[in-house]
Copies of this chain bind each other. A is one copy, B any other.
Amino acid sequence: MEWQAPKGTRDFYPEDAIIRDYIFDSWRKSCEKYGFEPYDAPVFEHLEVYTQKSGDEIEGQLYTFEDKGGRKLALRPEMTPSLARMVAARCRELKKPIKWYSIPKLFRYEKMQKGRLREFFQLNMDILGIDDVCADAELIAAAIDMLCNLGLSSKDFQVHISSRTLLEQLFLFVGVKQGELLKLYAILDKMNKVTPENFNLMLDEFFTDKNVAQSVKKILSAKTLDEILEINSEIEPILEIKKLFEYLQVLGFQDFVKFDVSVVRGLAYYTGVVFEIFDKKRTMRAIAGGGRYDKLVELYGGQPTPAVGFAVGDVVLCDLLKELNKLPEIKQNCDLFIVSFDKDYANLLKIVKKFRENNFSVQYPLKLGNFGKQMKQANEAGAKIVIFAGSQEESEGNYKLKIMKTGEEKVVLKEEIAKKIREFENF
């Protein structure tokens, strides 16, 4: 029998856990800088929480099981349904805007591919209660800043922004009929999967009116927002997305964002602005994605609550940080390692106690080997300073110590030791 982690999951040995915690800490700091508060929900929900949003088909992609009471439960594949359920339950009491973040572990029962695991983490940030595009701007700004705090710049990633309503109203404006929209979206979904020639052929076949086909192609080939504005600069969603780009410019993020009509996002629940963040070279899956979902809280029995949110997964992001060499080298360390000259263990422990009471992180040999072995352990523990217990100097009222970085040895008065060590370590 070989004992392995289940397929699609990961063991985090310390070298990986330290990296993960570094990313999580950075995420938390970014969220707090932007005034987002933490929340969390159970790892599993009643299955209906997910089918309510995504239909019964979703069940095939979920890990499901039964409750003692025979109710069907599912491991959470995404955080937004739990968020919507929680907000719906306290809709009236919660002060608006609601700015919440969470770092859930999520589970998807799907085929393994590069950048996709069955168990992974996400940072989710959401703003609820604001029906204005300034919330979208704040959220996208927060997303960009979060990536910058991890060492990335506009050379490394870009936010591709579009709008569901914009596309819909533009299509209607150029003569697409309401009843044709759904089928048109199905074709759009093929846009980046077939050659441009074949895509154009599909559009030509779909529309009987050549002018409409031509206009749709023009919309879809727009490379900038200005090209869209040339088609129509007056309908509401266009004014909105224009405002969004203006806000993002004032906030200093113009180099990070671009209009991209091809971003539609698979999920049916988006109702306005949608965006995806890609690495600049476009060699990877999307790093993050999000958008406006104004109808979801109602779906869980809450009052109508406008909402905008995004999620960034740990897997693709971590791959990108590795590729760009942006992950810091974080090593296990401790302030002090106490070694014993004379093998008087009680005396060694007494010194450990003294320094721990002074709030130093302290390690020591749990089994006293010879001196060389003890120094090797001090090295492995990443000790900044080694203190020699049971030295000649100790009996004379001093501590003998070694500053590991420089190799210097010092003798320090016992009363001054805590102060001196803080100096040596450059606290």
Contacts and interface: CB of A to CB of B under 8 A. Distances in A.
Interface of A: 1-7, 9-14, 17-18, 20-21, 32-35, 37-46, 48-49, 63-65, 67-69, 71, 73, 75, 82, 85-86, 88-90, 95, 97, 100, 102, 105, 107, 109, 119, 127, 130, 132, 134-135, 137-138, 145, 246-247, 250-252, 300-301, 332, 334, 345-346, 349-350, 352-353, 356-357, 359-363, 366-367, 380-381
Nearest to A37: B14
Given A14-B39, A145-B356, A252-B357, 14 more contacts: A3-B49, A3-B300, A6-B42, A6-B67, A9-B44, A11-B42, A33-B360, A34-B362, A35-B361, A43-B105, A65-B65, A130-B366, A134-B367, A247-B346
B356 A86 contact: no
Contacts of A105: 43, 105
A272 to B, nearest CB: 15
B301 A6 contact: no
A32 B73 contact: no
A426 B89 CA distance: 39
B37 A17 contact: yes
A1 B48 contact: yes
* Copy count, this protein chain: 2
Contact of A366 (B10, B18, B134, B380): B134
B366 A138 contact: yes
A48 to B, nearest CB: 7
Q: Is the interface of A mostly helix, strand, loop or mixed?
A: mixed
Contacts of A82: 11
Contacts of A49: 3
Contacts of A97: 366-367
Nearest to A2: B301
Nearest to A142: B356
B35 A12 contact: no
Contacts of A39: 11-14, 17
A40 B64 contact: no
A10 B42 contact: yes
A6 B37 contact: no
A352 B132 contact: no
Closest 4 CB pairs of A and B: A9-B42, A14-B37, A17-B38, A65-B65
A18 B37 contact: yes
Contacts of A102: 17
Contacts of A73: 6, 63
- For A42, A252, A345, the residue with the greatest tally of chain B CB atoms inside 10 Å of its CB is A42
Given A14-B100, A346-B250, A366-B97, A109 B68 contact: yes
Contact of A350 (B20, B75, B250, B350): B250
A178 to B, nearest CB: 31
Contacts of A38: 12, 14, 17-18, 21
Given A3-B300, A132-B366, A40 B12 contact: yes
A12 B41 contact: yes
A181 B71 CA distance: 43
A246 B346 contact: yes
A85 B109 CA distance: 23
A42 B11 CA distance: 6
A332 B32 CA distance: 9
B63 A3 contact: no
Contacts of A34: 361-363
Contacts of A44: 6, 9, 63, 119
